[in-house]
Amino acid sequence: MSAVLLLLGTFLLSLVGTAGVRRYALARSVMDIPNERSSHSVPTPRGGGVAIVLSFLLALPVAWGIGLIDARTSLAFLIPGAFIALIGFVDDHRHIPARWRLLGHFLGAAALLAAVGGLPPIRFAGEFWHLGLFGDALALFYLVWLLNLYNFMDGIDGIASLEAMTVCLGGILCYWLLGQESRVWLPLLLAGAVGGFLLWNFPPARIFMGDAGSGFLGLVLGGFSLQAAWAGGQLFWCWLILLGVFVVDATWTLLQRLLRGERVYEAHRSHAYQRAARRIGAHRGVSLAVVAINLCWLLPIAVLVCLERIDGLPGLILAYAPLVLVAALLGAGRPDGQ
């Protein structure tokens, strides 16, 4: 009963907190003003992701206190998560130069990586591979990339919130299928925190997430995947598969822009999801399409990998291949005129 009350309280705190952040943003003119690189047309308050951050982080010590998680897990996400959210909050209010922002991202990611024990042995071709320091370096860049790509992908109403919720629910299902019910609480609490915000962010959005929320979600979801890998090598592949829509769209778009020599840290609207939203003239259809892809395509493949019906890497390739094709067909990474 206490666990259910905590989950409900996390949702309600996020719901009420988002309303408070929205009033604050309107009073202080913390607004996202449309420009030629925007995917919206109406000035909208931003920074609502702070409510996600606060409700989830406040739930962690309570979850520890009632025995749902241990102290190390609570601190692993509490301190790095708060640090990354603080960087995003400051950047939402006054710009932080890209190099200093990136340095902060590496520091926060390194703290989380150390707290979860680094990169565990990864299951590949039926064997467990110990990558040592090289694996830890890869994991560090992986966390920083997830943190930033989540920021890149938070460009239309509801998409980042719905992605986080469906990925968490997919991860919960994989834990349950493997009989690891004790691990479901962190993703459940995050889904509850995001759910309260989603009621304000669902198209048409009344408030945007902002860097504080999007970067935080990217880091925490990456941390979940590394933590899961310690529980079972195939679980890392499951989380990576579930994150496929965001990983493929952001990575493909970045590579296309790099090949053209563009400044990848500059704002743009050439992601596949942004181009799709302009084609159909609405955000809701694209955000709901992401939900459908996650639940009807990526989740079944993740379950097959979880149950060891498919090996991790072949499952990842199977999951990502059509997403790459869709990104290419939509012209992800190309200039608007192409």
Annotated binding-site residue numbers for Mg(2+): 151, 211
- Ramachandran bin of 242, using left for φ above 0, alpha for ψ from -120 to 50, beta for the remaining angles: alpha
Distance of CA 184 to the CA centre of its chain: 17
DSSP string, 214-272: HHHHHHHHHHHHHHHHHH-HHHHHHHHHHTHHHHHHHHHHHHHHHHTT--TTS----SH
Distance CA 269, CA 262 (A): 13
Please report, for residues 60, 68, 191, 234, 239, the alpha-carbon distance to residue 182 in angstroms, rounded to integers and kept in the order given: 14, 7, 16, 18, 17
Q: Which of 164, 198, 205 is nearest to 40 (CA)?
A: 205
- 121: CB partners within 8 A, 6+ apart: 128, 129, 130, 131, 233
> What are the binding residues?
151, 211
CB atoms within 10 A of CB 316: 20
